[in-house]
Structure 1
């Protein structure tokens, strides 16, 4: 199996973590530690201890832990965009293309979670993004982060999917709003099913997977909106 390398812009880091073995280790082990501890408890000091390096060496790659989370989240959306391009380039029918996109976003096919992606545990990354990604924009620094261009991957993916929606219904006036809601809902409903079940009909006790249930809900809602 060949390794897939995703390119993340240099504005996300001080030094490209993919350029050195230490940088790759910071990313791969940082994902695992974020998954284990959560963003609030995660620190570069704890990560440094885990990978037997100095805290200062991590700061050579990332300014702070918020920028590190932004990098990981951007990497996740770049991965989703890669999967969408890879799996839909041959689909000409816009409705079928949108359904395939929704399946990817909901992780209906768990096979891609086992892809060789530069040593990154994509299952852990998915959980980190699901639980922690709202912290990168629900912050006083959101305008600063946006002005630095650090949301461009998320916005680019949102725009790409919105173009498919416009193909399906050119008269629909909320394509970007719909897509951004779908991207958030794909994570929120999984989280609610696992931790706050009274907020959703999605359930981990049903015979079909949570991911398939979330897809069916989002697919139903999206196409209802478009028609």
Structure 2
């Protein structure tokens, strides 16, 4: 935990990229502008050719960092969940009351994202919007099992495991800690999506946040 807290560099599995985009100014520009462009036109319409035009570089330069746009989305998703994990560890490590720690963890996972000045080339607010709208496309593919074996989703799974462990510490006899943890995380993205696009299908709004719902759901489910 100490190492995670003291290291502000977000580490993404190296199999996802050809060349680490954090290693050069061009790589950081590719990440920065891919986030903005995907948010603007959507992942389906996004291409490396369009990105190349945005950054004033050849399409081939993007391929030096990422094999294809699916790998780029995997990179963005992994970076996001690693950033969330960092916040979970940072903001809960000194909390000793199990219930309080659980509530704080859910708040972190479900809250509305604010920009983090530590990473100037990444707009976390816009990236969060992409995760809400596009995250499932990173794993709803025919290759998901092989990519899972290759460790592409290790960070996301680690975030689920961290929340599962907090749930288990709070209520050791609860039999569905993993299912509840993954439901909270995926459900939060869905509630944010409904709040923005299908308001009649959720009770979340400007006053009621997804974190309010999932804290209530969790505490009532665990009977604590």
TM above 0.5, one fold? yes
Does the 8 A contact of 2:164 with 2:178 survive in 1? yes
Mind listing any 5+ residue stretches in structure 1 that lack a counterpart?
none
| Mapping 1:22-171, distance limit 5 Å | 22-108=26-112, 112-171=114-173
Does the 8 A contact of 1:4 with 1:118 survive in 2? no
Alignment of 1:213 onto 2:215? no
TM (norm. structure 2) is 0.92
Equivalent residue, structure 2, for 1:10? 14
Does the 8 A contact of 1:98 with 1:165 survive in 2? yes
Does the 8 A contact of 2:111 with 2:209 survive in 1? no
Cα displacement (A) at 1:115 = 2.8
CA shift in 2, pair 1:51/1:67, >3 Å: same
Distance 1:225 1:136 in 2: 30
Mind listing any 5+ residue stretches in structure 2 that lack a counterpart?
1-6
Q: Give the match's secondary structure for 1:25.
A: helix
Cα displacement (A) at 1:118 = 4.1
Does the 8 A contact of 1:16 with 1:23 survive in 2? yes
Query: Structure 1 residues 141-150 or 74-83, which shifts more?
Result: 141-150
Distance 2:86 2:194 in 1: 27
TM (norm. structure 1) is 0.91
Deviations 1:111-161 (A, max 9, x none): x42432142001100000110001112121211221211010011111111
CA shift in 2, pair 1:171/1:158, >3 Å: same
Kindly report the root-mean-square deviation, in angstroms, between the aligned alpha carbons of the 2 structures.
Answer: 1.5
Does the 8 A contact of 1:5 with 1:118 survive in 2? no
